[in-house]
Amino acid sequence: MRIVFMGTPQSAVPSLQRLLADGHEVVAVWTQPDKPAGRGDNMHAPAVKEFAIAHALKIEQPPKIRTKEAKELFACYQADLAVVVAYGRILPTEYLTAPRRGCINVHFSLLPRYRGAAPVNWAIVNGEQKTGVTTMFVEEELDSGPILLQRETQIDATETAPELMRRLGEAGAELLGETLRRLDDLQPVTQDESKATFAPLLTKATGLIDWTNTAQELERRVRGFQPWPNAYSHWNSQRLILWKACVHDHDGQLAAPGEVLAAHGDELIVSCGEKTALRLLELQLQGKRRLLARDFLNGTHLKIGDRFGQD
């Protein structure tokens, strides 16, 4: 089939790779514009663009997709199908109707659960034991289109969002290949709106830790809010990112949320809500390297009774 592929991050690359491996004609790759990143604010290309360049595919990066020019450009490819994988924009009607067979999306959740921009992150944060990938026809309302196929997977107890996303990216590519092979025979299934949940866009403020939450909740946030915005607190008026943590069994001693209960050797333990405690394993102060707890303690004057979360 003649396919326009629309995707941006690394998680979309396996699906594009699968389309080529399966012999489809990818007539154009649409991806988000390059963005500044790093200390020097140098421009960086999306992962999908880098893959497309390596495979000599035609690339389009319109800064706005609702202009007349962008809509006409999309239509001019006369595609049989558009495949959308984490493109990063909601498509107007003209994009949904231009391809002869419509638009198919690979979404990283078991729809109708976790519609929205960050399904993998929120599945971990909310303590889900399973998630998966879904292929569906795209409709105007966000992630609401009829389902074609789904594949389920368990979420490992220590899995971070980037680790889970890598697995789902590969699973999504496999499911996309199967979907296109069986497209003539599949019967799309309407989503049950009563079971819909949402995975809102992450912001920097989303990652700020509230130490009155339980240690179990905070441990999931540490894993789920990677690689951005990260779960973070403050110490000595500096932003402190928590990269790795685990729930610590303790006697429920009375302490204020965010108060340091232990600060020696490899042990950095902080009081949380409901008389729980979190052991911090890897941390990073703003502008500094990521450190194991032992190295962090060796380089600071942190002591029992100090409190995190105070600017």
Domain at 243, CATH number: 3.10.25.10
In a domain, 94, yes or no: yes
- Mean pLDDT along residues 250-262: 86
CATH of the domain at 122: 3.40.50.170
Whether residue 270 sits in one domain with residue 213: yes
Do 126 and 192 sit in the same domain of this protein?
A: yes
pLDDT (mean) for 235-257: 90
Q: For the chain, what percent of residues have pLDDT higher than 70?
A: 97
pLDDT in tens, 194-214: 999 999 999 999 999 999 999
Residue finishing a domain among 174, 199, 224: 199
Position 41 pLDDT exceeds 90? no
Residue 11: pLDDT band (50, 70, 90) is very high
Give the integer Cα–Cα distance in Å for 218 and 216.
6
Q: What is the mean pLDDT of residues 151-164?
A: 98
List the single range of 15-19, 34-38, 75-79, 241-245 with lowest mean pLDDT. Answer: 34-38
Q: Report the run of H or E that residue 171 belongs to, with start and end.
A: helix 161-181
| Span 186-191, average pLDDT | 98
Does any domain span residue 174? yes
Q: What is the pLDDT of residue 40?
A: 64
Choice between 237 and 102, residue whose per-residue pLDDT is larger: 102
* Confidence tier at 38 by pLDDT (50, 70, 90): low
Claim to verify: residue 261 and residue 290 sit in the same structural domain: yes
Residue 303 in domain: no
Asked whether residue 17 carries a pLDDT value surpassing 80, the answer given is: yes
Q: Are residues 178 and 230 in the same domain?
A: no
Q: Are residues 181 and 249 in the same domain?
A: no
Answer with the one of 144, 178, 199 that is the final residue of a domain: 199
Residue 173, pLDDT > 90, answer yes
Report yes or no on 307 lying in a domain.
Answer: no
So what's the pLDDT on residue 39?
65
Assess whether 181 and 260 both reside in one domain. no
Torsion sign, CA atoms 258, 261, 262, 267: negative
Do 65 and 152 fall into the same domain?
A: yes
pLDDT at 252: 67
Q: Is residue 308 part of a domain?
A: no
Specify if 96 maps to a domain. Answer: yes
Residues 94 and 174 in one domain: yes
Global pTM?
0.95
Using a CB cutoff of 8 Å and minimum separation of 24, what contacts does 221-225 make?
Answer: 221/125, 223/124, 223/158, 223/159, 223/160, 223/161, 224/121, 224/122, 224/123, 224/124, 224/125, 224/160, 224/161, 225/121, 225/125, 225/161
> What pLDDT, on the 0 to 100 scale, is given for residue 8?
97
Residues 6+ apart with CB under 8 A from 307: 256, 258, 259, 260
Cβ neighbours, 10 Å, residue 55: 12
**Is the pLDDT reported for residue 36 higher than 90?**
no
Sequence-distant (≥ 6) Cβ neighbours of residue 249 within 8 angstroms: 277
Residue 311 pLDDT: 62
In a domain, 81, yes or no: yes
125 plus 272 within the same structural domain = no
Residues 165 and 227 grouped into a single domain: no
**How much is the mean pLDDT over the chain?**
95
**214 shares a domain with 185:** no
Per-residue pLDDT tens over the stretch 62-73: 999 999 999 999
- What pLDDT score was predicted for residue 188? 97
- 301 falls in which pLDDT band (50, 70, 90)? confident
Q: How many domains does the chain have?
A: 2
Domain that holds residue 290: 204-298
Dump pLDDT digits (tens) for 105-155.
Answer: 999 999 999 999 999 999 999 999 999 999 999 999 999 999 999 999 999
Q: 165, 182, 199: which is the final residue of a domain?
A: 199
Q: What is the DSSP code string of 18-68?
A: HHHHTT-EEEEEE-PPPEEETTTTEEE--HHHHHHHHTT--EE--S-SSSH
* 251 pLDDT above the threshold of 80: no
141 shares its domain with 210: no
Question: What's the pLDDT score for residue 43?
Answer: 85
- Residue 305 domain-assigned (yes or no): no
In the predicted structure, residue 104 carries a pLDDT above the cut 90: yes
